[in-house]
Amino acid sequence: MTAAIALRGIVKHYRMGDEDVPALKGIDLDVPAGAFVAVRGPSGSGKSTLLNVCGLIDSFDAGSYLLAGEDVGGLDETARTLIRRQKIGFVFQSYNLVPVMSVRDNVEYPLLLGQMAPAERRARVDEILGQVGLAGLAGRRPDQLSGGQRQRVAIARALVKSPTLVIADEPTANLDTATAQQVVDLMKALGARHGATFLIATHDERMTEHCDEVRALTDGVLA
Amino acid sequence: MNAWLLAWRNVLRNRRRSLVTILIATVGCAAVLIASGFALYTYAALRDGAAKEFGNVTVGAPGYFDRDEETPMQFGMADYRALTARLMRDKRVRRVLPRVALSGLISNGDKSVIFMGLGADVAAEAEVRGPFLEIKEGSTRPIAGHEDLPRVLLGTDLAKSLDAHSGTGLTLLGTTTSGGINAIDVMVVGIVSTGWRDIDKRLVYTDVPTAQRLLMSDRISTLSIYLGSVDATPAAFAQLSAADPAHSYKPWWEQSFYYHSVRAIYNRIFGLLGLIIATLVFFSVANTLSMAVVERTREIGTLRALGALPQEIVAQFVREGALIGVVGAAAGTLLALFVVLALPHAGFEMPPPPGRSVGYPLLVNFSLPLYLAVDAGIVALCAVAAWFASRKASRRSIVEALAHV
């Protein structure tokens, strides 16, 4: 079976003034399709950088990256954007919902970018909103929702296009224990249903205990 | 989800800021429309004035318009009666008026001054020229008991200079076609004003026979053709001149240098004004949307992460700018239309322009092509300002944008 993510020798440096700061030092990582994998590590260990590279929102300096078997290492920004549009969903720590869009509009946005027909868009959005338990709140704005509800909207937005990969950066960090548990359960259930691979950056034990695999990242090196 | 509805919601995010920007676009649009409408009114008034002064088309003998006469009536027309009859058969022609240009001295016995005269059908001239030839005193009719004396109308300043009024007897001295000096006694029947002080200082209006008598000629200088409308001039000029190669034809716009001068000056002034207003609107919209872009940096990063291309982000801001432009242009158009409709009732008067002795009403014309062009320009300007404000942010690193606080 083709791995959803196959990283080999990924190196990433940041420039801080005149200094090159290594963020990732030769990362090798294989994530099977449909897996629920967490990357754990202290602040500054390179978790977010690794997720950004895997989510194609950041480039890397050396190494290779196969996303569902496709080499995405040498692509330009437009090609990376189009891959993100089709194959990658994101769940952010602060939800990052667009405040002037309703719940429905936020979830629909990735489908709109994919130029899906309106009727199909509507059906997909209704289906995913039902799956995350927000069917009755489709017309609300994000500021009319609780933190847990917002994160569920973000999960729906990430999964609505049935992506290959979902990148989740500290998805439960802003949630209370009960809500975080619900969000983790929801991500896992929907991930399985949509066949999506989850790569999650977290230091939340509540999260890691539900993952298929937990990898520790320290100073840019994956254990 | 409708992209325009989303853009409108974004415009309403910061209502006060958007309202101020829309107000600037409104005032800018109205200012351009009102200033341009005033220029159009001025051009139309000058055009009407020129067409009434010279006639829509003027006919002269060959050489009359191109060469200087060495003696009076050297390029005069003798066959004007037949030509008049022929021109009057054209349905577009309303009047054909003969004119005799003359100059010389006019004297009250104590004082002699130079005059520039016109021998014409004075009553008909007053009728076709309307407000552009105002009879200030007397009339064009002979004074009772003096019907046998040739009649003249004087410009207001010339009358003042000669202390002449209706009923005053004066003497005209002029050079004849053969180079001799001739003099005739005339009676002032009226005082007129053209509104041009320099002309009113020298103007003598008399009838054609009197002018011909002074010049000792049976010719006239020109025939002025008056049409039903100024707009009919280009076509009529082309056809009349093509049909009569024996005479020279000149449309009003080739004779009215004042019209062209004013138009050139106004075009520059109002063009500059428009440029200043456009710059203000541009930077105002660009500033508003730049602030919106900064505030929404993280959102831009999110949308980019979700798969939006930079041009799709820019398109969203351009839609917002265009909406600001549409609302501003609509409100500005309403404001300008209100001014167009209200000004005739307000009775505001412009001061006399340089060289003129009378002012003119402050009016603003409505022109649908102008309004459409200005409104489209405002919308386009706002859209370009939005593009200008958002193009850089749309290409910013997604990681940096997502980390923006």
Using CA atoms, how far apart are residues A145 and A214, in angstroms rounded to an integer? Answer: 31
Are residues B344 and B212 part of one domain?
Answer: no
Q: Which token pair is A26? A: 């030769």
**What's the gap in Å between the CA of A57 and the closest CA on chain B?**
6
| Residue B254 domain flag | no
- Residue A96 has its nearest CB partner, among B9, B302, B312, at B302
Instruction: Tell me which chain B residue has its CA closest to the CA of residue A114.
Output: B307
Best CA proximity match to B300, nearest among B389, B401, B390: B401
Altogether, the residues listed in chain B come to a count of: 405
- Flag whether residue A79 sits within 8 Å of chain B, measured between CB atoms: no
How would DSSP label each residue in B20-52? HHHHHHHHHHHHHHHHHHHHHHHHHHHHHHHHH
pLDDT tens-digit profile of B285-328?
A: 899 889 999 999 999 999 999 999 999 999 999 999 999 999 99
Are residues B397 and B274 part of one domain?
Answer: yes
> What is the ipTM for the molecules in this complex?
0.94
Are residues B397 and B264 part of one domain?
Answer: yes
State the CATH number of the domain containing residue A109.
3.40.50.300
Interface of B with A (CB under 8 A): 1, 6, 9-10, 12-13, 298-299, 302-309, 312, 397-399, 402
The mean of the pLDDT values for chain A is 92
User: Who contacts B366 (Cβ-Cβ below 8 Å, separation ≥6)?
Assistant: B37, B337, B340
**What's the gap in Å between the CA of B258 and the closest CA on chain A?**
58
pLDDT tens-digit profile of B176-212?
A: 988 889 999 999 999 988 888 888 999 999 999 999 9
Enumerate the residues of chain B whose CB falls inside 8 A of the CB of residue A99: 13, 299
| Residue B145 domain flag | yes
What number is the average pLDDT over the span B215-224? 94
DSSP 8-class letter at B196: B
Altogether, the residues listed in chain A come to a count of: 223
Are residues B388 and B267 part of one domain?
Answer: yes
Strands, E assignment, B108-201: 112-120, 134-138, 151-155, 169-175, 181-193
Q: How many domains does chain A have?
A: 1
Question: Residue B70 — pLDDT band, cuts 50, 70, 90?
Answer: confident
3-state helix, strand, coil in chain A (%, to 5): 40, 30, 35
Using CA atoms, how far apart are residues A205 and B120, in angstroms rounded to an integer? Answer: 108
Residue ending a domain, choose from B223, B250, B275: B223
Q: Which token pair is A181? A: 């548990």
Are residues B162 and B283 part of one domain?
Answer: no
pLDDT tens-digit profile of B344-400?
A: 999 898 888 777 777 788 999 999 999 999 999 999 999 999 999 999 989 899 999
**Roughly what angle, to the nearest 10 degrees, separates helices B122-129 and B15-54?**
170
A152 CB-side CA count, 13 A: 25
Residue with tokens 């009349």: B240
Q: Do A109 and B1 touch (CB under 8 A)?
A: yes
Are residues B393 and B270 part of one domain?
Answer: yes
pLDDT tens-digit profile of B230-283?
A: 999 999 999 999 999 999 999 999 988 888 988 999 999 999 999 999 999 999
Using CA atoms, how far apart are residues A38 and A216, in angstroms rounded to an integer? Answer: 8
Q: Do B399 and A114 touch (CB under 8 A)?
A: no
How would DSSP label each residue in A87-152? HEEEE-TT----TTS-HHHHHHHHHHHTT--HHHHHHHHHHHHHHTT-GGGTT--GGGS-HHHHHH
Using CA atoms, how far apart are residues B151 and B171, in angstroms rounded to an integer? Answer: 11
**What's the gap in Å between the CA of B9 and the closest CA on chain A?**
6
Best CA proximity match to A10, nearest among A68, A57, A49, A43: A49
Pick the residue with more confidence: B330 or A14? B330
Q: How many domains does chain B have?
A: 2
The values of phi and psi at residue B186, to 5°, are: -135, 165
Best CA proximity match to B259, nearest among B54, B96, B63, B37: B54
- Residue A58 has its nearest CB partner, among B9, B303, B399, at B399
Could you tell me the pTM of the whole model? Answer: 0.82
Q: Do A78 and B309 touch (CB under 8 A)?
A: yes
pLDDT tens-digit profile of A187-221?
A: 999 988 888 999 999 887 878 888 999 999 999 99
| Residue B112 domain flag | yes
DSSP 8-class letter at A27: E
What does DSSP say about strands A165-169 and A197-201: parallel, antiparallel, or unpaired? parallel
Q: Which residues constitute the domain of residue B305?
A: 3-49+259-403
Using CA atoms, how far apart are residues B19 and B328, in angstroms rounded to an integer? Answer: 9
Residue B370, classed as helix, strand or coil, is: helix
What does DSSP say about strands B169-175 and B112-120: parallel, antiparallel, or unpaired? unpaired
How would DSSP label each residue in B305-337? HTT--HHHHHHHHHHHHHHHHHHHHHHHHHHHH
Using CA atoms, how far apart are residues A136 and B244, in angstroms rounded to an integer? Answer: 85
| Residue B124 domain flag | yes
Residue ending a domain, choose from B175, B208, B223: B223
pLDDT tens-digit profile of A51-96?
A: 999 999 999 999 999 999 999 988 999 999 999 999 999 999 999 9
Enumerate the residues of chain A whose CB falls inside 8 A of the CB of residue B307: 81-82, 84-86, 88, 110, 113-114
pLDDT tens-digit profile of B99-152?
A: 999 999 999 989 999 999 999 987 788 788 776 678 888 887 777 777 788 999
Are residues B397 and B263 part of one domain?
Answer: yes
Amino acid at B188: V
Residue with tokens 């939005």: B386
Using CA atoms, how far apart are residues B13 and B316, in angstroms rounded to an integer? Answer: 14
| Residue B246 domain flag | no
Enumerate the residues of chain B whose CB falls inside 8 A of the CB of residue A52: 398-399
How would DSSP label each residue in B70-84? SSTTTT-BS-HHHHH
Enumerate the residues of chain A whose CB falls inside 8 A of the CB of residue B397: 58
Among B12, B15, B302, which would you mutate to test the A interface (most chain A Cβ atoms within 10 Å of its Cβ)? B302
Q: Which residues constitute the domain of residue A61?
A: 3-222
Residue with tokens 């609302």: B327
Q: Which token pair is B378? A: 């405002």
